Copies of this chain bind each other. A is one copy, B any other.
Amino acid sequence: MAVAEISSPSYTTKSGLLQSSQLSSLSTHLHNHRCCSFRPLPRTQYAKISCSVAPNQVQTPLPVQAEDPKGKPECYGVFCLTYDLKAEEETKSWKKLINVAVSGAAGMIANHLLFKLASGEVFGPDQPIALKLLGSQRSLQALEGVAMELEDSLFPLLREVSIGIDSYEVFQDAEWALLIGAKPRGPGMERAGLLDINGQIFAEQGKALNAVASRNVKVIVVGNPCNTNALICLKNAPNIPAKNFHALTRLDENRAKCQLALKAGVFYDKVSNVTIWGNHSTTQVPDFLNARINGLPVVEVIKDRKWLEEEFTEKVQKRGGVLIEKWGRSSAASTAVSIVDAIKSLVTPTPEGDWFSSGVYTTGNPYGIAEDIVFSMPCRSKGDGDYELVKDIKFDDYLWKRIAKSEAELLAEKKCVAHLTGEGIAVCDLPGDTMLPGEM
């Protein structure tokens, strides 16, 4: 076994890092330039970051780094050490370190997701990973706890963990941004209120991504209402391709597959081509018309059309709520699994003939869905992080009617957040106070 060389010059000086003052002015600039109706937000406090590593007290001439870890202040614990991956025999064949930012990192969904990312399960066994955890002032202690547990897990691929509460610092050079953090709807809060509160978070995070993330960062918005949050986010990040933003509807797709399998009496791996159309809300449309079981159209296998139109759709929509009743809280583990599925679907080629669902920007869609919203549609990927919409899709009156309803809801949500997308004064006239999946 070759003894690892850990060369001190490998400390990465982040020459591209914008200073706080620059960021503030950039933020102000963007604000003035794009979004005249933006409400001025209190700037999030700059990151308070802790690092448990002590100055190096090794007393033998081991080839270890000798610089003060303060040069890299956002690191955590053992991850404050810098490793020259190229110099280590075992890691020479690894890919370049990938930066993955996760918001809501102290929450339950992230708690499942982070350990999956760190284990290599998502990006593969030759992909070293840097995790950048975004939390809030309130969750900072818990965030340290998460970082400690990541340390104690000894994941070989996990080479950096940093924690912070300023998205402009945490999103620096991010190649993936998994935006989970959002406020849940409180008692008596209307959907319009939720749209506004969470929309502000995603407007701010869009600006941060625009300022500091990789120019080709892939963004998956999980925090609800995720479609409109994703729209707000991409509108505030004009320098990042709109196509790179996704709203997570993969959990709905997975649930739909499971329900179809249950009904048909087959294992769930026999169900394919399931699309979730539209909004991640109760107007979502699980598409049984194009779905297949053992390669056959679902409608030829499950001939109970009433079940498909009524019970199936309702089962998928209400699954989250049933789970909350049973489990006492929202799904976390299965949501994390579906985020992993969503990422894997973008970084591995889609199996021949199949597709996956993702809430993506509608502009240029072949289905005639309104432009300039984020709508869940069927996608295929070559595995390069990008995707194409699937063209050969059947529609019938039932499917169109349902899709139109979800489209109308998203267009109304869009008007309701106009102040956050730079499109003027918000007008909130939502078509009924629809619930999010899982809301009671």
Contacts and interface: CB of A to CB of B under 8 A. Distances in A.
Contact of A149 (B4, B268, B333): B333
A17 interface: no
Interface in A276-311: 293-296, 300-304, 307
A293 B64 CA distance: 12
A257 B1 CA distance: 18
Contacts of A4: 266-267, 270, 294
Contacts of A319: 148, 152
A11 interface: no
> In the complex this chain forms, how many copies of it are found?
2
Contacts of A303: 59-60
A78 B270 contact: no
Interface in A258-276: 258, 261-270
Nearest to A78: B262
Interface stretch (A49-57, A373-381, A415-423): A49-57
A331 B154 contact: no
Contacts of A235: none
Contact of A78 (B66, B151, B258): B258
A154 B268 contact: yes
**Range for the number of chain A residues in contact with chain B:** 35 or more
Given A62-B294, A64-B266, A334 B261 contact: no
Interface stretch (A39-47, A111-119, A223-231, A363-371): A111-119
Contacts of A154: 254, 257-258, 268-269, 341
B326 A57 contact: no
Interface of A: 1, 3-4, 6, 52-54, 56-60, 62, 64-66, 77-78, 81, 83, 111-112, 114-115, 119, 121, 141-142, 144-146, 148-154, 156, 159, 251, 254-255, 257-258, 261-270, 293-296, 300-304, 307, 319, 322-323, 325-328, 331-334, 336-338, 341
- Shortest 10 CB-CB distances between A and B: which pairs? A145-B327, A145-B326, A64-B265, A149-B334, A59-B303, A153-B337, A152-B334, A56-B265, A141-B326, A144-B326
Given A57-B304, A58-B263, A153-B333, 12 more contacts: A4-B266, A59-B304, A78-B268, A111-B332, A115-B333, A115-B337, A141-B325, A145-B323, A145-B326, A146-B333, A154-B257, A154-B269
27 contacts: A4-B294, A6-B267, A53-B262, A57-B263, A57-B302, A57-B307, A58-B264, A58-B265, A59-B302, A60-B302, A62-B264, A78-B267, A78-B268, A81-B261, A81-B266, A112-B115, A114-B333, A115-B333, A142-B326, A145-B327, A145-B328, A146-B333, A149-B327, A149-B334, A153-B334, A154-B257, A156-B269
